[in-house]
Structure formats: C-alpha cells, structure tokens
Structure 1
Amino acid sequence: MASIISLPRYNIPLKTISTLIIFLLQLLPDRAHRSSSRPAVPAVIVFGDSVVDPGNNNYIDTPAKGNFPPYGQDFPGHEATGRFSNGRITPDMMASALGVKELVPAYFDTRLVDQDLLTGVSFASAASGFDPLTSTIALAIPMMKQLDMFKEYKEKLRKIAGKKKAASIISESLYMVCSGSNDVAEYFLDPLRRPIKDIATYSEFLMQTASNFLQELVNLGARRVGVTGLPPIGCLPSQRTLAGGVLRRCAANRNDLAKKYNEKLKRELNRLTAKDSRAKLIYVDMYSVLLDLIQKPQKYGFRVSKRGCCGTGTLEVAKLCNRLCHVCSNVSKYLFWDSYHPTERAYKIIVDKIIQRDLHLLL
C-alpha cells in the first residue's frame, strides 16, 4: 500500500490564490513566444549551384546569371537579385523556418553587414558542380573554391565575434550542400566525357568528389550538414526538350544517373558519419519529393509541371529567360519557373517536406 504523506495546511485566502493563478497564466504566452522566437541554429551556411545561389554569380564573369527581369518578379521589392526563381529560394525559406532570418545573402554581396555574416551566407554559384570540369565550362565557382571562400568567411567571423563565439557559430550552424545536377546535365551534353566514363563510373566519380568536399567541410568545423541528393533531372523541362523525344517524356538516362549517384551518396554519408563522430551528415531526398510534384501536380494545386512559366517553358533559362519573354499569367499554377528551376511556391512545398522528413534530424 502506498504511503500517504501529510502536507501542512496554509490559510491562504481564495482571492489571493485566484490572483496568483491569473498572473501565472498571463506569463505563459510571453514565455512561449520567447521560446518559439529563439533560432533553432545560429546561422545557415550554404554551398552549391543555382538552386541555392542568391546572387554570387552577379559578381563574376559568367553567362549563368539571373539578375534581370523577369527573375525576381515576386521577390520583395520585385528585385532580380540573382536568385533563379520568381521569388525566394530554398536557403531563404530554410533560414526563415528555423527563425534565423528571412533571406540568406550571397557571400559576394557588397552590401553585407556584420549581422549578415553572423547569421550565415551562401557561397553557391549557379552552374557549378562537383566535377571541376562543369564549373570550368560555365565559368562558375567550383565547389572546392567555395570552401576557400568559407575559410575566408571564418576569419571575418572571428574578427567580428571573437574566437570563442565564432567557433560556436561554426560548430552549431546548419550547413546545406546542394550540387551535382549540372554535372549530370553536362555529362549528357558533352560527347567527350561519355566515352571516358559510363554512367556507373561517372556516378562513382561524382560521389567520391562529393565525399572529398564533405570531409574537408567537416575538417573546417561543420557539424550539422544536410546534403541534397539529385532530383529527377530527366523530368526537368529542359531535359524533356533535349532528350524526351517528340512527346517530351522524362529522359530516363538522366534519371538513371541521378538514382545511381543518390544510392552511392546515401551509403557514403552513413559511412562518413560512422567514421567521424564529430559531425552528422544527413541525406536530403530531393528526388522523391520533386518527382511526386511532377507526377501529381494537381495534388499540390499546380496545373503545369512539364513546362516553365518563362517563355515557352521548354528551354529558357538564365539569359534566355529575359524581359522580352512572355511570362505565364498565373505563376502559382506552375511547378517550374524556367526550364530548370522551380517556382517560389514549389520551393516552399519542397522545403516544408525536407525539414519534416530529413533536416529535423540535425536540429
């Protein structure tokens, strides 16, 4: 039988108790608000290609730019920042969802202030890839060069925040790595690459290059790293046009290479995490998320998933998507903005899904 503990009785007036309860209840919303407004991570730091480039390519000599209309038509202030979409892109939405800030700026942005650096930047470059040849052809910033920029960023952070706080920001931040799509697209466009490396060999080469990048990133202090797998590249509007035949079906060979790479990448991330307990590297499944949007657009409120909103929507991207192009009247019904990149609304759906399913493991 459980023992009964007798508690002393205090003669506290009922009115006093009621007042105390009301006072405590009034405090609860305030405390909840303070808790919910605290960022999940101190900063969001990004590496990769055009999917996550907020405008670094504006500052280098490359044709891969999106800093002109109609890009950015739905961005705050209708500004064409260099983001390859009609509005915000995935790092912006990720940082906003985590309570860090509303926009992740380009590292090369000349308007950066100290607070921008303290809360994270993007080193990404449109048209870049893990394969150094991909970046060379497009005059983009190679992934390993992006790591050099990160080293420079760390020094700036130390000067702003001091050694101890800078180290804390570097170790506790969320890192996003999104690259490889341009490698696959270029592989099938470049006849000189294919005889040297078949699909299986090239997917292995990409995985090893990605692994080298990630190991160096961890050595530089990254501890929470989300690495996106490749999307179903063969189903992008541009690849349907180039290799999908008269009916513009999904190009199976592109998707086959993407899937082979993704399987290798998943295994490698598990191996790296098991090998080095300092960091956690999580695979972010972009393939199934985007494929579901493409195959079942009505489920998400889209009407068009085989063409982009800009121009004919079949090939236009970067300079081909310009102010002379016709733009669809209702962009919210389009999954893709140009022939390669999703619309802001599509990005939002993708980000919500990957936070719930993948990135919560890092938080």
Structure 2
Amino acid sequence: MSLPLLLFFLVFSISTTNSNGTNHPNFSAILFFGDSTLDTGNNVFIPTPIKSDHVPYGREFPGHAATGRFSNGLLVPDLLSSALGIKQLSPPFMDPKLSEDDMRTGVNFASAGSGFDDVTSVLPHTTPMSRQLEMFRSYLGRLRKMVGEEEAGFKETTRGCCGSGLIEVGPLCNTLTPLCQDVSSYVFFDAVHPSERVYKLVAAYIVQYVIPKLQ
C-alpha cells in the first residue's frame, strides 16, 4: 500500500441554487485526490482487485452499506465535506449516477492502491495521480458546460499555460517554451500542476473555512 497522497482541496467561486430552492454559498465545491485513505468508492467502478465493496467494510456506514470505502464507516472527505456544510458525503467521480448537484458541490478522484508514481498503479490496475488529474480536467469541462463560462472561475481547464499544456512538465517547461498570455485564466500552469490562482483559492478556502472549524 502506498503512502497517503496529498489531501488536495480545490474550491470554486460558484453561487447556485439547488433543487430545494436554497442558495449554495460561495466556494461550495470541494475536490479530493489520493489513495485508499481518501477513496470513497472509485475503485468499485474499475477492473481492479483492490476493492472494499464487501463485508465487513461499511458496517457503521449509513444503511450498513459497503460502498468501496476502506473503513468501517465514513472517510475524511465525507467528514470534512459535512463539517464544512457542503454536503454529507464525498461522491466518487467514477459513479455513473453522479447528479448535477454532486458535480456542482465537488467530487472525489482518489483511487485505492494508487501513488504519485504511475508505476505503483500498473499491477493493481488502479488510478494513478496523473490519471486523477485527467479526470479532474474532464470534471472541469463538464462543470463549465453545466454552469456556464462566467460561473466556472477559469477560461482554460483542459491544458496548461506552458507550451502546448499537454506534455510540458519540469525540464520540458523552460525559458524556450512559450507561455500563455493570461496565466490567471488557466487552472494548470504546466501539464500537471495548478496555477498560482488555484493555490490561492485553496489557501483562502482553508483559512476561511477549514481552520476555524478545526479550532
């Protein structure tokens, strides 16, 4: 089992109205990336032997359901989403039954058995960090279509600002590589890593919402 990956929060400045007619607050979407300590069920939907959709997992989960969480109950993404008043559970992105409200309020990309190095995911056929970021790009594209260009907080969500934005990472992103004109409109700076604007949103959210809740 790999070491726990980064518990990464990404929040969007979206103000929407749900089916009950109540307004979601700003910064209402929270996303998670990681491994089995954060996976809320993505592995259930991929051909891997690393699953926990069977007893005794989930014995304290609502309805005593084994949902693919490697725990007897809830995980940190669920508890944190609930504590911040966003929603009760952190839904796996691979669940084909994801609702529009789930998409608006954030999803979970974590995959049990994955790691920062793609090699760790080859044998167990799990989802490495690079693939989780690809799913994140897909999520952003779907979200932009759902809420519109103005409410989606970025103009370019599928590629990085450096070069083509598809392969340039580390040494491939250098002084000879052309950059986009407006980095702040990009979610990613290079092909993998978020831009400073994204990190600022994450930091602001943690300072305003997470830290007060933990004190």
Q: TM-score range by the shorter chain?
A: 0.5 to 0.7
Partner of 2:199: 223
Q: Give the direction of change, closer, same or farther, for the CA distance of 1:74–1:133 in structure 2 (3 Å limit).
A: same
Moved over 6 A (4+): 279-282
Structure 2 Cα separation of the partners of residues 116 and 43 of structure 1: 9
Counterpart among 93, 104, 112 of residue 107 in structure 1: 93
2:140 is the alignment partner of 1:154: yes
Gaps of 5+ in 1: 1-36, 172-207, 227-278, 283-351, 358-363
1:100 to partner: Cα distance: 0.4
Pair 1:98-2:84 in alignment: yes
What is the aligned-residue identity percentage?
43
Aligned to 1:67, which of 53, 57, 77? 53
- Counterpart AA for 1:51: T
Decide whether aligned partners of structure 1 residues 40 and 99 sit closer, same or farther in structure 2, where only a CA change above 3 A counts.
farther
Q: Give TM-score scaled by structure 2 length.
A: 0.64
Is the contact made by 1:83 and 1:89 (CA closer than 8 Å) also made in structure 2?
A: yes
Matches within 5 A, 1:154-303: 154-167=140-153, 216-219=192-195, 222-223=198-199
In the comparison of the two structures, how many residue pairs are matched? Answer: 159
Which residue type is aligned with residue 70 of structure 1?
A: P
Give the Å deviation of 1:135. Answer: 1.1
SS of the aligned residue for 2:152 comes to helix
Which residue identity does 1:223 align to in structure 2? Y
Matched, 1:356 2:214: yes
User: Higher helix proportion, which one?
Assistant: 1
Cα deviation, 1:323-342, whole Å, max 9, x if unaligned, reads xxxxxxxxxxxxxxxxxxxx
Partner residue in 2 for 1:55? 41
Please give the root-mean-square deviation of Cα atoms over the aligned residues, in Å.
Answer: 3.3
Deviations 1:26-54 (A, max 9, x none): xxxxxxxxxxx975731110111011101
Take 2:67 and 2:86, find their aligned partners in 1: how far apart are those partners? 20
Amino acid at match of 1:91: P
Task: Give the alignment partner of residue 133 of structure 1, picking from 95, 113, 119.
Answer: 119
Letter in 1 for 2:134: D
Inter-CA distance 221–64: structure 2 relative to 1 (3 Å threshold): farther
SS in 2 for 1:166: coil
Aligned to 2:162: none
Q: Residues 138-185 of structure 1: CA distance to partner in whole angstroms, max 9, x if unpaired? A: 2110101110000100111011111111227x99xxxxxxxxxxxxxx
1:70, distance to aligned residue in structure 2 (A): 1.1
State the AA in 2 paired with 1:125.
Answer: S
Q: Secondary structure at the match of 1:108?
A: coil
Kindly name which structure, 1 or 2, has the bigger radius of gyration based on alpha carbons. Answer: 1
Partner of 2:130: 144
Answer whether contact 2:84 2:213 (CA < 8 A) is retained. no
Q: How far has the Cα of 1:137 moved from its partner?
A: 2.4
CA shift, 1:55, in A, is 0.6
Q: Which residue of 1 aligns with 2:3?
A: none
Distance 1:116 1:86, change over 3 A: same
